[in-house]
Copies of this chain bind each other. A is one copy, B any other.
């Protein structure tokens, strides 16, 4: 019997966790940007489950989820790549993989994590399981110069796309053969591409240009056509206002035949036709828009704004193109995330240390969670979406 006790204790410690079984489909992570911490939350009952510390500089953090929606891979500004277990509520592994990184992506098959780096530039690709380095792809251009990389996104058929900020290039990286990445380079795509988006179907990769007007479009079904320029007037032209913050390209919404996107430096949401890539309209809004995000059924888009108008949200009806609701959550509304079927939207109110939860049908605030300087909110259904 004395032998049995250590066996039972060992079983308690290993085969079995102190955490109960739970599904991971309704979970999420909120970044507490100032203190290197994240909160693990769930949206069935709108509670915070745990706080996980020790993630370094999260001042511009983003993340992707594992294929099984159990783990989050968090990309920190300090080059840290941290794998957090939503179930044990602990850091599984953390590596400082560069001096400064801006974001990353998970491969279609879930086996690779790719990170875009500012310092020293380039893309590093890791095993999602172990975080061991699988491939190191320097972003070399010109006379052995190294470029910052941005807008790194997974695309179908086990590929990634990334944009080289300094080089003005887009690279398509095929990871079908892990030991030998096949890279297709598109050069002279425009000046200082600073961010990118993938249309929800995974077909079009679009990079924004900081150095000139217009956007660079790569049709992934026809890479042989090269990168084309679209929306030539998109940018800072036309008697610009001071640009307080460049809008996030991930904040575009495709609804029906239209794409709703933030104007740069103007108090407008722009509308373009997704078949012709021509601007078809604009909607005057409260400030310089940052994120223009569609409710999952795309009937409404929600818009937040740059300083000094960042205490406000506006809701646009897609069909009538009218603003149907204006809400003032509080100081510094940084990010919004819808629950998967769209019944709720969670809103980070950074300077008031809260995440507010709204009913998207009634626009009523239904709950609020205390969160230290919240920025990004990420729900685990992103695990299943191309480009997220």
Contacts and interface: CB of A to CB of B under 8 A. Distances in A.
A9 B9 CA distance: 10
Given A108-B343, A109-B343, A361-B176, A12 B16 contact: yes
Contacts of A67: 25-26, 43-44, 340
A297 B342 contact: no
Nearest to A8: B8
A361 B158 contact: yes
Contacts of A1: 1-2, 5
A interface, over-half SS: loop
Interface in A338-382: 340-343, 361, 380-381
Interface string A1-36: 110110011011001111111111111000000000
Contact of A25 (B5, B66, B108, B298): B66
A71 B23 contact: yes
Nearest to A16: B16
8 contacts: A8-B12, A15-B16, A15-B20, A25-B384, A44-B110, A158-B361, A201-B298, A221-B299
Interface of A: 1-2, 4-5, 8-9, 11-12, 15-27, 42-44, 65-71, 86-88, 108-110, 154, 156-158, 176, 201-203, 221, 255-257, 275, 295-299, 319, 340-343, 361, 380-381, 383-386
Given A24-B24, A203-B297, 5 more contacts: A22-B68, A43-B67, A108-B341, A221-B319, A341-B385
